[in-house]
Chain A
Amino acid sequence: MSASTTDHVGEHTNKTKLLVRRIVAYVVLVLLTIISLLPFIIMIINATRSHPDIQKGFKFVLGSSFGSNFKHVFNNTDIPLLYGLRNSLIVAGCCALLSTYFSALTAYGIHVYDFKLKKFAFAFILVIMMVPAQVSALGFYRFMDSVGLTNNLIPLIVPSIAAPATFFFMKQYMDSSLPLEIVEAARIDGCGEFRTFNSIVMPILKPAMAVQGIFTFVANWNNYFIPSLIIDQKELKTLPIMVAQLRSADFLKFDLGQVYMMIFVAIIPVVVVYLALSKFIIRGVALGSVKG
């Protein structure tokens, strides 16, 4: 057998193997796509069907009760969803703004200036990054209770000023894309330190702040544990607390069209944001995770 035929045969089997591998890969990917999406397809379909319709059994056909489910859900006085949307928007929005601004400010302070406690401050923030929020939940709850801030949105918003993970991301971003020369040039031009940060550095940090802003928004939109301790007045509840209430209510007696609709309303804003910005979000996940 000459060398060229073996090469040819080898290439041939290689090609078949590659084809088989490719088919397996696509089959698995399609299956995973179905597993990932099916629950949400069921949710969307059932949100369009009425309670008796849903009870008859599941069908892959859209119903005609989307409008009435929607109306019922927003007229439900036990679970005032409109308030929930408002509260969640306020909390998640404010947290996103506060946490990105102050994290950037903190990272900038450590990145640009030299001071005695700089190394300590940096190490300290890295250490506390791993401390789970639940660990101080009891103390936090009792503290807020003692100053009369339960049933108030402030305790859900203001603590986000200290966001170690966001800080870390900002610091890394500055290491790679904020040359100190810019700061020095601004100083020579007589620009004050705060103004340098706000009008020269912030625009440079925009991409990083956008990514972190989205993450913080989503995390707080979805946050359940701390809000459920702090809030129990129904007009102040955020969406996750309201969704959890569906489970507490006698589930089997609940209007299922409303259940699916409420879940739909709770997750759809984030899905829309995600689909619009998925490129940045996925890149952000990858970048934020790899430690240099």
Chain B
Amino acid sequence: MASSNKHKSISYAKWGYIFILPFFIAYGLFQLWPMFQTIRDSFYSKMTVGLIEYPEEFVGFDNYVDLFKEGEIFTYFGNTFIIWIIGFIPQIFISLLLAAWFTDLRLKIKAQGFFKVVIYLPNILMAAAVSMLFFAIFSDIGPINDVYKSITGSESPYQFFAHITSTRVIIAIINFIMWYGNTTILLMAAIMGVDPSLYEASEIDGATPSQTFWQITIPSIRPILIYVLVTSLIGGVQMYDIPQIITNGEGSPTRSSMTVVMYLNRQISVGKNYGKAGTISVVLFIVAAVLSLAVAAFNSKDQLAERKAAKLKKKKMKGALKI
């Protein structure tokens, strides 16, 4: 095949460029160029206060110094992380449990197709609409407060969105409901890719289900677990739709639910402070890049040696993966 490729390269190379050209033009124009502009903006001061538009001025690293001195960005990274982790812990726990059960041949869970369809459903729904729905359900006049009032006999509703913990937990619950199905499917695919002879051997040796789970399943799917963890963290850093709508962009109460991207959005559309917005974008980019590099590092370490095995696995998985 190598020789035939070489032969082709003589006459057909230009087609390669032609075919990939639209992608790169679109990427350059709508992503790369805007990204350079964003980075450039982070070194300029440009803002509109009221009706007065201040002229653009090069300020070097002043925006960065200001951003870190103010320190709000740390608070918002902290909020984002706290809300993410509240949702992620039950997410990974439940997903692992479900994935182990669904793939357990002795357990033989019936109606798997139905359960998978149900748990994956929230993942494809509009986060904005789901958030609005939860806001309505937990609002002062929502069904949860009906239950609360009838249980406690209290006349006044519990104001879920006036308390720091309940607001954060509700956002995390929405994250959890929207993502645990997705994680379950990923982990299932990973578990089904594990060499079945390992499970057979453990059964012959009389291992209990929990022993099999901890000694075989977990170590075998470690790369996917790390992949899930870090991609979820990267997704978490970008958390926006849900807290934005739940708190109407205010991050209330007292900015305790303000995430980094909400902060960025405020600088663009409310504050019209492009210097600061650019700076936040660059910081966000660096954080996401570091996390992505972590994925890449783990992937190459864990998977380089297993590449051949993984290809085999994938072929098997295609056959085995029925819902």
Contacts and interface: CB of A to CB of B under 8 A. Distances in A.
A33 B33 CA distance: 45
Interface in A203-231: 218, 221-222, 224-225, 228-229
B261 interface: yes
Interface string B12-23: 111111111011
A159 B121 contact: no
Nearest to B315: A176
Contacts, number: 333
A74 interface: no
A267 B34 contact: no
B214 interface: no
Contacts of B218: none
Given A28-B97, A114-B6, A109 B310 contact: no
A188 B67 CA distance: 63
B121 A137 contact: no
Nearest to B248: A247
A291 B109 contact: no
Contact of B23 (A102, A131, A193): A102
A246 B132 contact: yes
A140 interface: yes
Nearest to A35: B177
Interface residues of B, number: 119
Interface residues of A, number: 101
Nearest to A219: B124
Q: Is the interface of B mostly helix, strand, loop or mixed?
A: helix
Interface stretch (A64-72, A75-83, A281-289): A281-289
Interface of B: 1, 4-6, 8-9, 12-20, 22-27, 29-38, 41, 94, 97-98, 101, 106-109, 113, 115-122, 124-130, 132-137, 139-143, 146, 177, 180-182, 185-186, 188-190, 193, 209, 224, 227, 234, 237-238, 240-241, 244-246, 248-249, 261, 264-265, 268-269, 274, 277-278, 281-282, 284-285, 288-289, 292, 295, 299, 303, 307, 310-311, 313-315, 317-318, 321, 323
Across the A-B interface, the 10 shortest Cβ-Cβ residue pairs:
A109-B19, A139-B34, A113-B16, A139-B37, A58-B143, A114-B9, A161-B26, A162-B27, A159-B30, A130-B292
Given A105-B20, A128-B31, 16 more contacts: A37-B121, A39-B130, A42-B133, A58-B142, A113-B15, A114-B12, A114-B13, A130-B289, A131-B31, A161-B25, A161-B26, A224-B240, A243-B128, A247-B245, A285-B182, A291-B299
